[in-house]
A and B are shown apart, each in its own frame.
Chain A
Amino acid sequence: MPILPRLRDPADRIYYTLVVAIGGALMIYFALVPVLGLNVAFHFYLMLWITMASAFNVSSGFSGYLPFGYVAFYGVGAFTTAILVKKAAFPVFLALPFSGVAGLVLALLFAPTLRLSGIYFGIVSLALAGICRLVITNMPEEITGGSFGLQLGSRAHPVQAFYVMMAVMVAALAVILWLSRSRLGKALRATRDDAEAAEMMGINVPRVRLYGWLVAAFFPALCGGVEAWYTNVVDTETAFNTLTTAKTVIYAVAGGLGTITGPIIGSVVMVWLDELIWRQFPLLNLLILGLATIALVLFLPRGIVGTILRRKPQWRRYVP
């Protein structure tokens, strides 16, 4: 396969032009944030949420699962990096890949849940995340730091962490771009729409689902690891906070599931709104997040990009 497919179709040309334009703009902008002295923390978390929401989209937009325990991957990734750095004296750059691996291992452990669907999957996912949190909470204090958590000490380097987060985001978006155009992506979508029919059309449904699930698990685990490094501290309360799942889901849905731009736009808009609200009304922040979610489901269930594409179905082929 050539790296760039032969662009026989003019629609593909527009599609890839948009990919390059949006991707290029994002990368240049983020790369310049520390250089221009913009708010590093804000943009770090913006990239983190773009990555989380985009990876979540692979699970729910492409594959049709709604994992309400998505934070489990993030939390396990955070603890993996923290434990390796603090207790095994790994350099951070060596520890981070292990966070990704931990996410994959957890995804494999949870793989049997993929034969559940709809709310059963959601509920089980939530319960499994609860189990993960309790297991780590109950591990010996020498390993996980107990209720105080783990402090990574003098290894903090916000700007380095910022660029690593950026690399993770770019990698996630590249993988998802490839996935959405690939045969695996088509097989995933077919499975999402009608798993039985897809299976009778020759799709190896369990395998396809597993691949999608691994992609969806890998990136949040990396995010957890990078965030642990960035904030320099990890504890079970924050690493397994249900709000992490909530924000991921809400940002992805706000943009629109199933497209690549959806979760990006959703994250940008919502993180920006979140920051604005938080600054204006720090006490009302949670309340407004909750109300925004309700409003989103009621008035914009397909998200920003999804709603536009529903109005203009002919644009579907051009929008990544």
Chain B
Amino acid sequence: MSAAIETRGLTKRFGGLVALDSVGLQAASGETLGIIGVNGAGKTTLMNCICGLYRPDGGDVFIAGERVTGQPPHVVAHKGIGRTFQVPRVFRKMSLIDNLLVPVLDRRASSDAELTERAEEMLARMQLIGLRHNYAEELSGGQQKLLEMARMLMPDPPIVMLDEPFAGVHPVLCKFMIERIEEMSGAGKAVLLISHDLTSIYRLSSRVVALNQGKIIAEGGVADIRGNPAVIEAYLGA
């Protein structure tokens, strides 16, 4: 069986800078793949290439075995990828309910009432239900991260990508988010988890890929990565 999500030889250049250099990785359903690396290692570029925001200069992206390279982002999204952003990108002047409806607007089979009901369930799970009619811009930074997570889960995508979900988030909220991420992989989703914070990655991931200057420098189980000299060097500097 093919992996839920796979990249082969993914390469992206910005001018002379090679942001991604032949990156190949895959994640199966129910698996959490941690992607670590210092700032500028290429983590977010990788995500943007996968979801079609950037057109890679080389290599391919496969979703459930189907090649999606070069497809526009909305097409890739419909293949079953949801994502969050390092700095939350909520729809500021829309209510929380409407924010959640955005990814499922083209579901002609479901009525507005059904979708609204599901949105309310998702908001309840993220403990945001009391604010459902507020504008998204009225939420705190941490709450916006939760809103993004709920929005991402709305269409029930088989693949989710989380970009630095814990950055700047209060420890109590971190714990809450970790539980939600565990639920996602428990529900059989392939989770790509980007972070430069190793503790949470090590806790959640079954496998870890370490990026440095756009290249994969190490790959394996948490134990392998933890002791890997190349990773330690990349993090602490030579």
A37 adjacent to chain B (CB < 8 Å): no
A201 x B94 contact (CB < 8 A) = no
Known: A189-B98, A201-B77, A204-B74. A194 touches B91 (CB 8 A): yes
B72 x A199 contact (CB < 8 A) = yes
B43 adjacent to chain A (CB < 8 Å): no
- Could you say which residues of chain A place their CB within 8 Å of the CB of B92? 193-194
B66 adjacent to chain A (CB < 8 Å): no
Name the one of B52, B91, B135, B155 contacting A313, with C-beta atoms under 8 angstroms.
B135
- What is the number of residues of chain B that contact chain A, defined by CB distance less than 8 Å? 34
A187 x B133 contact (CB < 8 A) = no
A200 adjacent to chain B (CB < 8 Å): yes
- What is the number of residues of chain A that contact chain B, defined by CB distance less than 8 Å? 27
- Could you say which residues of chain A place their CB within 8 Å of the CB of B102? 186-187, 190, 198, 201-203
Number of A-B contacts (CB under 8 A): 86
A194 x B134 contact (CB < 8 A) = no
A194 x B112 contact (CB < 8 A) = no
With CB as the reference atom, state the residue of chain A lying closest to B101: A186
- Could you say which residues of chain A place their CB within 8 Å of the CB of B78? 202
Name the one of A5, A6, A189, A199 contacting B94, with C-beta atoms under 8 angstroms.
A189
Encoded as 1 (CB less than 8 Å from any B CB) or 0, chain A from 182 to 213 comes to: 01001101101110111111111100000000
- Could you say which residues of chain A place their CB within 8 Å of the CB of B89? 194, 196-197
A196 to B87, CA, bound (A): 13
A193 x B94 contact (CB < 8 A) = yes
B106 adjacent to chain A (CB < 8 Å): yes
B91 x A199 contact (CB < 8 A) = no
Give chain A nearest CB distance to B115 CB in angstroms: 9
With CB as the reference atom, state the residue of chain B lying closest to A183: B105
Q: Do most interface residues of chain A lie in helix, strand or loop, or is the interface mixed?
A: helix
B93 x A202 contact (CB < 8 A) = no
B74 x A203 contact (CB < 8 A) = yes
B151 x A201 contact (CB < 8 A) = yes
Q: Which of B68-99 contact A (CB under 8 A)?
A: 72-74, 76-78, 82-83, 85, 89-95, 98-99
A143 to B83, CA, bound (A): 56
A313 to B96, CA, bound (A): 13
A317 x B91 contact (CB < 8 A) = no
Encoded as 1 (CB less than 8 Å from any B CB) or 0, chain A from 102 to 133 comes to: 00000000000000000000000000000000
A190 x B77 contact (CB < 8 A) = no
A313 x B77 contact (CB < 8 A) = no
Q: Which of A6, A192, A204 is packed against the most chain B CB atoms within 10 Å?
A: A204
Known: A186-B98, A202-B74, A203-B74. A196 touches B103 (CB 8 A): no
Residues of B within 8 A of A (CB): 51-53, 72-74, 76-78, 82-83, 85, 89-95, 98-99, 101-103, 105-106, 112-113, 133-135, 138, 151, 155
The 3 A-B pairs with the shortest beta carbon distances in the complex, nearest first, are A202-B77, A193-B91, A197-B89
New contact pairs (11) apart from A194-B92, A199-B72, A200-B74, CB-CB < 8 Å? A6-B113, A186-B94, A190-B94, A190-B98, A190-B99, A196-B73, A197-B85, A197-B89, A200-B51, A200-B77, A202-B155
Pick 10 A–B contacts, CB within 8 A, sort by A: A189-B93, A190-B94, A194-B92, A197-B91, A199-B72, A200-B76, A200-B77, A200-B83, A313-B134, A313-B135
